[in-house]
A and B are shown apart, each in its own frame.
Chain A
Amino acid sequence: MAHFELLARCPTTRARVTRITLAHGATMLPTFMPVATQAAIKGLTPQQVESLGVTLILNNTYHLNLRPGIKVLSEAGGAHKFQGWNRNLLTDSGGFQLVSLSKFTTITEEGALFESPFTGEPTMLTPEESISIQHAIGADIIMQLDDVVPSLTQDRARVEEAMERSVRWLDRCITHHNLSGKRATQNLFAIVQGGLDLELRDRCVTHMIQRKNDVAGFAIGGLSGGEEKDVFWRVVKQCTDKLPEDRPRYCMGIGFAEDLLVCVALGVDMADCVFPTRTARFGVALTHNGPLNLRLAKYASDFEAIDSSCPCPTCVKGTSRAMLHHIIGRETAAAQGRSLLASVTIHNIVFQARIMGDARDAIMDGTFPDYLRTFFSNYFGDVGYPEWCVNALRSVNVDLLEGSDIKVVSGKGAKWEYSSTVT
């Protein structure tokens, strides 16, 4: 099993610095995991990703099972070798995409019944099958198959059923995994479900931590589905407060800077999201002062780098906003555009890694609350703090408003540079 060490704890918040050592090396936590859905981070080679200081990425089981398929991956000696990625890798269970991408998926106690994309025949993805596929892929961290319901589901009985079934499926995953002989190299994570209902979440955590000796970590699933952010953070906190100290905690599907830092303050160690890489492909570069939409005309003759203090190759080489604008502005220039969009992808991956790395340093130094205040003031100073961030951080003893005259805005508060602000 993974070697998991606690290196430092923030005396004020629930944040902590840990190190997880897996079959492909050590990864410092808290960390953000870029998503390589089809065994590639869009536009980048594994060498490029590695040079950015990334040590843990995510592959999607559903996609890899379709292409290249398990046979090819087995022949290659696993997904690491297939894609030339020598660092740590995490795969999801495939269940989430099954629900979101497949037609006619029905969940039964046996597993998820869906139309096979290969044959069109009804096919069952069972917890055992999900684990077997993930064994063939060979990721360092594998996820249990869970019963996912959309976070906005009103039917509490369905949410409760899904939560309880996820616990039963965890048991089947554990049994299958333990019998496989893969425990030495692959680490199974449980996924806490229970929707937005704090009582259901609490029961789920209680059941799952009873299985602690058989799981290497715990994920918080079923969020980031359009729920109120003020509800989101309360669910995360409910879970992290109760999850054991000696296991990593992974909040699935989050990637906005404010979400990441709030979650870290609440005790989350890992997160993943397609947002930073996807938004790059639409020409949006992430910075400490908020996102830059490089398609806007105001960048056409801006010869500054995206962020002159950024250590990414794009910024270090002085790639100007004007050049990025020149390339990104044209839909027709697909091939050329892609090479420069890769420059923005590189930048955004480094931005995510930086805010998490800086958080680690601040936690180690005992200055994490100051780091939070500085970050939020730079990021939201001009538009106002999202109220939910203020509330969430107050719950872990950090008051963003202390000594600040920055206003508070309700709602999601996510910051964006819309094209209506063209100057």
Chain B
Amino acid sequence: MISFSVASSSRFGPRTGNLTLRRPGTSVSINTPGLMVATSRGVVSHLGRDQYERTPALRVVQVPFESFLENSPPTPTLQPGPNPLHTFLGFNPNQHLLSLTLRDPADRRETPANGHDYISVSTGRGMKKITPDQWRAHVHACAPDLVVALPDIPWTLPPFSQKRTTKSIERTAAWLAHMLAPAPQPLNILVHMAGGIAEPARRAFTDSLTETLHGKEAESVRPHKCLDDGVSGYVFDLVPLRRALDASPDASRNDQQETVALLKASLTSAPSTKLRVANSAGSPHEILRLVRDVGVDIFDSKWAQDAAHLGVALDFTFPVSSVTGNQRDLGHNLFRTQYAHDFSLFADSAPACPCGACAPVASPTVIAHSAHDVHTPIAPTPYTRAYVHHLLHTHEMSAHALLVMHNLEVLDAFFAGVRGVIDGGSSFGDEVDRFVAQYSEAQAAIDEARTMWDVVNVARGKGRMARERADAVADD
């Protein structure tokens, strides 16, 4: 079972903690604040399975299930043997803690309305309706380490009426109760904090979790006295909040402060010692604010993985050793021509980055294909910006594998720094201010890389240089 402990007794504010999962014969332990790696279609995008174990930042992994609903029954539910989800997806039960969600929390696309007893999911082969019964059955068949109970998050076009928000609260609570009903295997259940962008609704949802149940309702979730008793932690999906805030007519609203206020509204009357997870934080700045003002424990690393997908090598540290010169970008857009001749490591600020790109290690085992094969190990050399620049411009996929390994380590080191500052007793708020002063939150490198990624994607192929020449002539 999962256990979580926090060092701080205050309800809000920076806190360190430890999440430990015990399984027969082993335990997996993660210090918080820490990261959770995002997957898509069951894989960490761009990484091969043999690279999973060479990526130490890969400990907690979030697995959206919806792509598997293409097949009925979903393939992972048929996987034989122990730890079926780990086995099917190639994760190591001794190293990796898997958290299962039905939907991809980063997917902001509009989706058909949910119903009274189903939600609409996107499978990659069209939409499907999934009921709480089906979700519960799939979860038990997959045996994840953590699971998010089915939330009713509206994915139609915002804004949402008070009536819709009320329904969302009621359904999310009812579907959590359904998940909590006695089962042969115990589950570690997280609940998505419902209520949208209405603070009273969010408080009401938490009240529905903590109120003592009676009669039939109590019977159905025995031995728990209230829904919250059966919950290991709270999940905050930031994408639906942003979506709703964007649709709000109040132009003077400060989205950062608003997000903090919404999360706090959910937590005001909830037990303060439970795990708090935020999905889709968009920058280290946002992560720092949610650590400082709320006390969130786990963040997904989708943002850093997306940067790798676009060709950006992250380069930042926390705490900042000394604030110098102009504000810096959070990373390097390696598409840029300036990197063609740059044979340095990916990061300036983290010269000792231990990732598989900056500090590659020779494989401990090399396959021998005949009795006379002899292997003499040679220490590998670190990869350079120039090489990745070349790989990006030739659309070679290994560029992104190297960048994913690197960016996850940068973010992991960032979280180690966060924990160090919190435990060290110096002012966390001061360090956040220094970080904000040193690094631009505007993410110019990432925006620029997105454009250049598109350009290479369109341009690549036979005759590319001739077309680029023609474009250059046309531009003159």
A residues neighboring B (CB under 8 Å): 7, 17, 19, 25-26, 28, 38-48, 50-53, 63, 66-68, 71-72, 75-76, 81-84, 86-87, 101, 115, 117-120, 300-301, 303, 311-314, 317-320, 322-323, 326-327, 329-330, 332-333, 335-340, 342-343, 346, 350, 353-354, 356-358, 360-361, 364
Q: Which residues of chain B come closer than 8 Å to A312, judged between CB atoms?
A: 367
Also in contact, A117 and B371, with CB within 8 A (given A82-B387, A313-B50):
no
Counting CB contacts under 8 A, is B216 at the interface?
no
User: Do B466 and A120 touch (CB < 8 A)?
Assistant: yes
Q: Are B124 and A339 in contact (CB under 8 A)?
A: no
Q: Is the CB of B89 within 8 A of A357?
A: no
Contact between B341 and A75, CB atoms less than 8 A apart:
yes
Which one of A335, A340, A364 has the highest number of Cβ atoms from chain B below 10 Å of its Cβ?
A335
Q: A68 contacts B44, CB within 8 Å?
A: no
Q: Name, among A39, A327, A332, A339, the residue most crowded by chain B CB atoms within 10 Å (CB to CB).
A: A339
Q: Identify the stretch in B179-187, B235-243, B324-332, B372-380 within 8 Å (CB) of chain A at 4 or more residues.
A: B372-380
Interface pair A323/B90, CB less than 8 Å apart: yes
List, in ascending order, chain B residues with CB within 8 A of A68's CB: 340, 386, 389-390
From B50, B89, B124, B469, give the contact of A333 (CB < 8 A). B124
Question: How far does the alpha carbon of A68 sit from the alpha carbon of B341 in the complex, in Å?
Answer: 9
Q: List 24 A-B contacts (CB under 8 A).
A: A25-B376, A28-B369, A38-B391, A39-B396, A40-B396, A43-B398, A43-B401, A45-B401, A45-B402, A48-B48, A50-B363, A67-B393, A68-B340, A81-B381, A84-B381, A117-B466, A118-B469, A320-B88, A322-B78, A330-B124, A335-B45, A335-B309, A339-B47, A364-B371
Q: Are B402 and A343 in contact (CB under 8 A)?
A: no
Alpha-carbon gap, A346 to B47, bound state (A): 13
Contact across chains for B124 and A84 when beta carbons are under 8 A apart:
no
Q: Is the CB of B369 within 8 A of A343?
A: no
Closest CB in chain A relative to B22 CB, distance in Å:
24
Interface mask (B450-473 → A, CB under 8 Å = 1, otherwise 0): 000000000000100110010000
Chain A residues with CB below 8 A from B45, complex form: 335-336, 338-339
Q: Which of A63, A313, A318, A339 contacts B401 (CB 8 A)?
A: A339
Contact of B368 among A48, A53, A330 (CB under 8 A): A53
Q: Taking the complex as formed, is B49 at the interface, i.e. its CB lies under 8 A from any CB of chain A?
A: yes
| CB contact under 8 A between A38 and B372, given known A53-B366, A301-B75 | no
CB pair A67–B43 under 8 Å, yes or no, is no
Chain A residues positioned under 8 Å from B384 (CB to CB): 76, 82
Question: What's the least CB distance linking B64 to chain A, in Å?
Answer: 11
Interface of B with A (CB < 8 Å)? 40-51, 67-68, 70-71, 75, 78-80, 87-90, 124, 309, 340-341, 343, 356, 360-363, 365-376, 378, 380-384, 386-387, 389-391, 393-394, 396-398, 400-402, 462, 465-466, 469
Residue of A nearest to B88 (CB): A323
- Interchain CB contact under 8 A, B390 and A67: yes
**Nearest chain A residue, comparing its CB with the CB of B464:** A117
Q: Chain B residues near A7: list those with CB within 8 A.
A: 372
Q: Contact partner of A52 among B88, B367, B382, CB < 8 A?
A: B367
Chain B residues with Cβ below 8 Å from A101 are: 462
Is there contact, CB below 8 Å, between A327 and B43? yes
Q: How far is the CA of A332 from the CA of B384 in the complex (A)?
A: 30
Q: Other than the known A41-B398, A68-B390, A84-B360, what 7 A-B pairs have Cβ atoms closer than 8 Å?
A: A7-B372, A28-B369, A39-B391, A48-B50, A76-B387, A336-B45, A357-B373
Q: Chain B contacts of A336 at CB under 8 A?
A: 40-43, 45
Q: Which 5 A-B pairs have the closest CB atoms?
A: A357-B369, A51-B363, A53-B367, A117-B465, A357-B370
B46, B51, B87, B390: which contacts A38 (Cβ < 8 A)? B390
Closest-by-CB residue of B relative to A330 is B124
B466 touches A28 (CB 8 A): no
Find out whether the CB atom of A314 lies under 8 angstroms from the CB atom of B124.
no
Q: Give A330 to B68 CA distance when docked, in angstroms.
A: 12
Q: A326 touching B370 by the CB < 8 A rule?
A: no
In angstroms, Cα B466 to Cα A313, docked, is 41
Q: Which of B42, B370, B374 has the most chain A CB within a 10 Å cutoff?
A: B370
Contact residue among B43, B51, B356, B372 (Cβ-Cβ distance under 8 Å from A360):
B372
Residue ID in chain A nearest B394 by CB atoms: A38
Q: How far is the CB of A284 from chain B (nearest CB, A)?
A: 18
Chain B residues in 8 Å Cβ range of A357 = 368-370, 373
Contact of A40 among B49, B371, B391 (CB under 8 A): B391
Question: Is the pair B341, A72 in contact by a Cβ cutoff of 8 Å?
Answer: yes
Query: Smallest distance from the beta carbon of B85 to chain A beta carbons, Å?
Result: 11
> Which single residue of chain B is at the shortest CB-CB distance from A300?
B71
Contact B397 A43 (CB under 8 A): yes
Closest partner residue, chain B, to A69 (CB atom) = B340
Contacts of A25 in B (CB 8 A): 376, 378
A63, A75, A340, A350: the one within 8 Å of B343 (CB): A75
A339 near B370: Cβ-Cβ < 8 Å = no
**In the complex, what distance in Å separates the CA atom of A81 from the CA atom of B378?**
13
Residues of B within 8 A of A43 (CB): 48, 396-398, 401
| Residue contact A53 to B373, C-beta cutoff 8 Å | yes
* Beta-carbon contact of A343 and B341 below 8 Å: no
Decide: B469 and A338 in contact? CB cutoff 8 A.
no
Task: Among A72, A323, A335, point to the contact of B40 (Cβ < 8 A).
Answer: A335
A322 shortest CB reach to chain B, Å: 5
The listed residue (A17, A313, A335, A350) touching B46 by CB distance below 8 A is A335
Which single residue of chain B is at the shortest CB-CB distance from A281? B397
B368 CB to closest chain A CB, in angstroms?
6
Asked if A327 and B362 sit within 8 Å, CB to CB, the answer is: no
When the two chains form their complex, are residues B380 and A47 in contact, meaning their CB atoms are under 8 A apart? yes
